[in-house]
A and B are shown apart, each in its own frame.
Chain A
Amino acid sequence: MAEMKTAAYVCQGCGLGERLSTQQLAQVAQKEGKMALVREHPFLCSAAGVQAIRDDIEKDGVTHIAIAACSRRAKTEAFHFPAVAMSRANLREGVIWSQPDTEAARETTQEMADDYVRMACAEVKKMKAPAGNPEAARNTRLLVVGGGISGMTAALEASKAGYPVTLVEKTAALGGWAAKLWKRTPAREPFQAPAETGVAAMIEAVRADPNIEVRLSSTIARTSGAPGRFSVAIATESGGAATEDFGAIVQASGFSLYDASKLPELGFGKSPNVVDQAGLERLAREAAAGNAPIRRPSDDGEVKTVVFVQCAGQRDATGEHLPYCSGHCCATSIKQAMYFKDANPAVDTVVLYTDLRVPGNGEDFYRSGQSKGVVFTKGAVSAVEPAGNACSVRFRDLILDEDATIENADLVVLATGQVPNSGVDIEKVAQNEPGEWQPDANSVLNLVYRQGKDLPLLRHGFSDSHFICFPYETRRTGIYAAGPVRRPMDIAQAVEDATGAALKAIQAAENAALGRAAHPRSGDLSFPIVRLDGCTQCKRCTVECPFGAIDEDEKRYPVFNESRCRRCGTCMGACPVRVISFENYSVDTVGAQLKAVDVPDEFSEKPRILVLACENDAYPALDMAGMARRTYSAFVRIIPVRCLGSVNTIWVSDALNSGYDGVMLMGCKHGDDYQCHFVKGSELANYRMSKIDDTLKQMALETERVATYEVAITDIERAPRLIDEYAAKIAEIGMSPLKGFA
């Protein structure tokens, strides 16, 4: 490798020159930071300032630069030097904007700035400009699994964008559930009447598209690889299998209807006159084919009264049935009631609901149903009792607060819910040991990934997606879930969802070709590098990687799949022997920073608090606090981390051993409604930190010296307050007894 030539640049703009002695900062960079070249500039992000840096890089061969100016989140376009390693000392948002502009605060403000310069110099010397992902591969063909509305939409949208698609469908025909419907709920103005499904036209469009190759009666027997180089074995019913390569995958495996035979109390199975919503669609299609009204199944008699039972086996609090709402069924029942009302207004249709949920324009459709004379009764159904050709529907009228019965219902329609076809639950079905891999007939993707054969699930069996911030993302890079496998939805929502997923899949394939990370570190060229000779095969990295990026070879050594990696560094935080690192982010880059801080002695009354702040939420929140001139303690030194999951406990013990008085960890919300950009990172960090009390006790330190916080990006007021509260607590506990030993 070429020799390292370092340079530091101290900006005097934005008030830095007035508030700080930049001369002193330059001295610190030179003497303590040992930077070969140090320059001060009155306006570093100006064209002249940037040109000065560029000249140094090009003419003087500078390879490592530390920029002491604004936050690393600011002026990223000006300070863009991809050829060199770069660190940023946050003197603007992190120092002068977050410290009071008073004579009294001048000393501590300068000390803070000095430390940030020291840290930036120390950090950059441990960094390398990322060389790029060695396994980058370009393959623009997409695989879409599932031939329903979602799958076909994803295929058509990708094709329109110029990407070839292979569409794999398990059954012998395209269309999925939508092909089984007589009509769909309307998706256009004026939302008054059931509409044509349009599924035939969609199938025709897929068939006619030269960019889409359809494989019917086929399943996925094996999926390996990574974005840009997925290798997928597609098995046909006849037993044949062919392996093909893809750039990215859209999983649109859809849903199954909840099994209504689990609802005997609602009469299902006891009479053919009790059907689920799919059963009614079948009756409607048969009737339409014969150009006749829908007849009573038991005796082909006339239908005079139809009762729709909403939430059948859904929103169930007992734990026996589905606990969630499937979202589409209210509108579907309204649509089905209209099948009768539009044909013959004399037919009585009653919808028994507890809460009618018709999101968006469904409200207009509901109103249309009401004006057509569909009766809506707020009631909880307890039993459907078939007797002969009629059914009695017993329910509690929730408005009149009394038990009631609808006698002589000719048809009862149960609105059962959507159950996702998400394959096997990888938490329950363990992956085969390395070298012993076998496909699982229940799996959708049959991944050979170490963590399991399908996408990880969130609640209720739906594929995990970052539903708060990035709904299309799954925890398997380059594999996007679309449609009801991700959450319950109707046709209109599935179309939108599949379009988004197709675009994300294209993006993933293109990023993989360039060796870049996918969201949220989009464009990052670094990737984890492991020093295998130090590895103890403990498997923590393979188990903890939130994205299943790491496999194992037969000797149980980790096998990194760079293109699957999101660069969160959770593996780095997990590794007990610290052999995992990134070129521009490692145990050393952070370790060197925290050690570079000048820790005053015990009697100085100047404690030092290390803040490890997640770069996705907590760090921007603190930057914004600075922009809003919210002040906080001058004793903190903040280091951004990629994710709290990347925090290796060695940093915490190093900090405490070097005499820091406290360590604050600021990460995202974890749990079921997590906000962690890397899904599991903050949860893992929290778990690891829950174990740190023992270490603290061994060091004869108070357990309060390490504290973990959940900070959201909106916590602009709260984050500085947390810092001040923690600083007050440290003042209360007293200075660390470990100062001066390091």
Chain B
Amino acid sequence: MPTALNEQALARYRNDFLREVEERVDEGGWVKMCMQCGVCAGSCPFGPHWEHSPQKIFMMIRAGKREEVLASDSMWMCTSCYNCVVRCPRKLPITTIMHGLATYAHRLGLAPKRQPTRDFSVIFWENFTRNGRANEIRLMLRLWFRDGFGAGIRKALAMKEVGLGMLRAKRMSPFEIFGGHGVKDVKGFQAMIRKAQEIEDRKRGFSK
């Protein structure tokens, strides 16, 4: 399914990636307004740790480097500190664009495999859309065991004291492991999410 989506997008935009981003990425219409001053790149606290700064990502989009942008690890590294947004002289909603690009790459199946932020996001989404509440025990277990059984055990043991402390302070219930409690109207909640997704898909051109 994701690959098919990607091919559809390719066909539709004749490789014009800027136009594709404009139409299908949250706040993507702002990318053309970047004036390449580099203030975002200089403001980012994670700057040295990503391969492409927002400035570069925007330039790559304009240069039509679709593969490289969508497969980039960089926008997954954004911590939403909003430093760049505050400082951008052209008032670009950079943080939103970064998350938009990440989401778009994910939907097309082009986002980097096993990218920790991406994995966490997927796990979190699945976890809380189930019954409308985040289930902390199941969330943690899935996250720790994503790298295999041994790694999961090691992480669990490392966090043992914190977990026991939370149990003692009644901040976490061990019975949540059996499914846990949900919102009052789980069906209604799920219908709401479905509707939101439908609207989003229509808006971004994934469905008619």
Contact = CB atoms under 8 A, between A and B. Distances in A.
A383 interface: no
Contact of B55 (A370, A375, A399): A399
Interface string A273-308: 000000000000000000000000000000000000
A215 to B, nearest CB: 47
A366 B89 CA distance: 14
A373 B35 CA distance: 13
A377 interface: yes
B101 interface: no
B204 interface: no
Nearest to A374: B32
A348 B16 CA distance: 10
B33 interface: yes
B33 A375 contact: no
Contacts of A366: 35
Determine which residue in A373, A377, A399, A404 has the highest number of CB atoms from chain B within 10 A of its CB, and name it. Answer: A399
Contact of B63 (A348, A356, A370, A397): A397
B59 A399 contact: yes
B35 A376 contact: yes
A348 B62 CA distance: 11
B86 to A, nearest CB: 20
A400 B60 contact: yes
Contacts of A367: 33, 90
A572 B90 CA distance: 58
Nearest to B32: A370
Interface string B53-83: 0011001101100000000000000000000
B56 A399 contact: yes
Contacts of A397: 59, 63
Contacts of A238: none
B13 to A, nearest CB: 12
Contacts of A370: 32-33, 35
A376 B140 CA distance: 46
B36 interface: yes
Contacts of B94: none
A371 B59 CA distance: 16
Interface string B16-48: 101000000000000011011000000000000
Nearest to A402: B63
Interface in A349-398: 356, 366-367, 370-371, 373, 375-378, 397
Nearest to B65: A400
Contact of B35 (A356, A371, A375, A404): A356
A376 B60 contact: no
Contacts of A371: 32-33
A410 to B, nearest CB: 16
Contacts of B18: 373, 375
A454 B63 CA distance: 49
Nearest to A401: B56
Measured as residues with beta carbon below 8 angstroms from the partner, the interface class of chain A is: 10 to 19
Measured as residues with beta carbon below 8 angstroms from the partner, the interface class of chain B is: 10 to 19
B32 A373 contact: yes
Contacts of A399: 36, 55-56, 59
B63 A400 contact: yes
Contact of A377 (B33, B55, B56, B63): B63
Given A397-B63, A400-B56, A400-B60, A378 B36 contact: yes
Contacts of B59: 377-378, 397, 399-400
Given A370-B32, A399-B36, A375 B56 contact: no
Contacts of B90: 367
A377 B35 contact: no
A404 B63 CA distance: 9
B36 A375 contact: no
A404 to B, nearest CB: 7
A377 B16 CA distance: 15
Given A399-B55, A399-B56, A400-B56, A377 B32 contact: no
B140 to A, nearest CB: 40
Contacts of A348: 16
Nearest to A345: B19
Nearest to A353: B36
A375 B60 contact: no
Contacts of A373: 18, 32
Determine which residue in B56, B60, B62, B63 has the highest number of CB atoms from chain A within 10 A of its CB, and name it. Answer: B63
A436 B59 CA distance: 64
A377 B62 contact: yes
A399 B36 CA distance: 8
A377 B63 CA distance: 8
Contacts of B16: 348
A475 B157 CA distance: 87
A356 B36 CA distance: 10
Nearest to B16: A348
Contacts of A400: 56, 59-60, 63
Nearest to B36: A378
Contacts of A376: 35-36, 62
Interface in A387-429: 397, 399-400, 404
Nearest to A366: B35
A225 B128 CA distance: 92
B38 to A, nearest CB: 8
A405 to B, nearest CB: 11
Interface in A576-612: none
B35 to A, nearest CB: 7
Interface of B: 16, 18, 32-33, 35-36, 55-56, 59-60, 62-63, 90
Given A376-B36, A399-B55, 4 more contacts: A366-B35, A367-B33, A371-B32, A376-B62
> Closest 10 interchain pairs by CB?
A399-B59, A370-B33, A375-B62, A370-B32, A378-B36, A400-B59, A399-B36, A373-B32, A399-B56, A400-B56
Interface of A: 348, 356, 366-367, 370-371, 373, 375-378, 397, 399-400, 404
10 contacts: A367-B33, A370-B32, A371-B33, A375-B18, A375-B32, A375-B62, A399-B36, A400-B56, A400-B59, A400-B63
